Amino acid sequence: MNKLAVLLLGFLVFTSCNRFDVKVEEQAIRDVMNQQSQAWSSGDVEGYMKGYWKSDKLRFASGDHITFGWQQTLHNYKKSYPSKTKMGELVFSEIIIEVLSENEALVFGRWKLIRQGDNPQGLFTLHFHKFADSWKIVSDHTS
């Protein structure tokens, strides 16, 4: 084999080993969101928050308010949803996942709370980052 063929073969092996599978990453993100939906619907705010980056740099925007930090976001959720009845059942729909790279993704979709008496709903855009342990939401814009 000539040197060029060896180099080309080496390059192809290297790049194929370092490629990531978009479908696998999409499913991992869906798994995070499914766990969040299940936790929320069970009245478990802390379990729901496991899908978020536990950092002071977490950004959560809703309406005309921006919250920074995991702890403050948790506090706001507990204040706004003090009981399982207020939380209701969380349903995500029309989810579009755009994997931008091995460790960055955007997720677009709709959310809906099914509660006795009302069914608030809206849109969301989530910025996910893949950390060593899993995908986490680093920025959430919900309307």
User: What total of structural domains would you count in the chain?
Assistant: 1
Domain that holds residue 91: 21-142
Q: Is residue 8 part of a domain?
A: no
- Give how far Cα 30 sits from Cα of 65, 71, 83, 87, 107, Å: 27, 24, 26, 21, 10
Q: Is residue 7 part of a domain?
A: no
Q: Is residue 75 part of a domain?
A: yes
Please give the pLDDT value at position 20.
Answer: 79
What does 60-94 look like in DSSP terms, one character per residue? Answer: EEETTEEEESHHHHHHHHHHH--SHHHH-EEEEEE
Query: What is d(CA 114, CA 75) in angstroms, rounded to the nearest whole number?
Result: 22
CATH number at residue 80: 3.10.450.50
- Strand, helix or coil for residue 122: strand
Per-residue pLDDT of the chain (143 residues; tens, 9 = 90+): 566 554 445 444 444 445 679 999 999 999 999 999 999 999 999 999 999 999 999 999 999 999 999 999 999 999 999 999 999 999 999 999 999 999 999 999 999 999 999 999 999 999 999 999 899 999 999 99
- Strand, helix or coil for residue 142: strand
Q: Is residue 4 part of a domain?
A: no
Please give the pLDDT value at position 45.
Answer: 98
pTM of the model: 0.86
Q: Is residue 68 part of a domain?
A: yes
Q: Is residue 50 part of a domain?
A: yes
Q: Is residue 81 part of a domain?
A: yes
Q: Is residue 11 part of a domain?
A: no
